[in-house]
Structure 1
């Protein structure tokens, strides 16, 4: 199975389940940008429950823009805010210290376009997971792709995902298990077991 999927900011677990269980991954880069999606947002588990980290972008609904043309609004110090949120949420997790140094370039390097950030983010995560995935990018937009399983709906925040197996999260005792958070939640809590977890899941 080959999968067609959107590159997103620190993809959620369902995204990674789709990618890891495919023969190859084709990133959709020729679509129009849509607000209210995971293209510029990820969700983590903070002390008060689910917490959204959003990358600010310069985008107006009036002028349709391709995803690859949408710029990041770098006026705010969003990278440092996201890093502090991750430190606050996961500093007590078993594998935070093990991985955070490898991810630091994402919080120190300047990115002008949200698509470039997301593709780089994916590369960094593959290094952390020590995984190799065969990837490509679309050359044109196809409403109904041929020869690929279409996982593009996973980018929408209201898309329902079937039950994912539970694992221990930092604040489970306070708020219970929260499924399908950012892959970072799984990585910081499960470490080297992350790949095995992903391969056991079904979408």
Structure 2
């Protein structure tokens, strides 16, 4: 669909159904393992109908990824340089954990893209992502210099937050298998644990 005519309600519904189905298929199989036929079947559409909206599997994948990085960066953008340092960083941890709970397919899709070498979002990673991380790392460094946080490497702190929160989406099956009936919902316990870890790590010495 490349013309400039207004999109009808049915067209918007079908486009949304395709992207939802594609998210399921890509997050399970990756780009290489997914097919247009699989996506069309999951969306309840014929292959020719799907190709009316998206010219190729690549076009569908690119449409999904285009909004994904922004979604991933939004919680980091919300870290306020004027806020209380520890509370700002704990709020960031909570927001990232909430994303793992609420957007597990998106997390898996992003992880697959990164593991494959980020062939489609590499420029964004070394551009907008790096610029934002550098900006927030400078904020963390200023808090440390003012004695408001314990000394840590700010970039590796951000990496740790990513890995420790996204683990609960990307390795959900493993987490739930280990916890079993003791903790059928791992997220409340994960939140308490991560707050304890980062509070102890980041609180300045008296």
**Shorter-chain-normalised TM-score: which range?**
under 0.3
Identify the structure with the greater strand proportion: 1
TM-score, reference length from structure 1: 0.23
Q: Which has the higher contact order (CA 8 A, sep 6+)?
A: 1
- The structure with more radius of gyration: 2
TM-score, reference length from structure 2: 0.23
Identify the structure with the greater helix proportion: 2
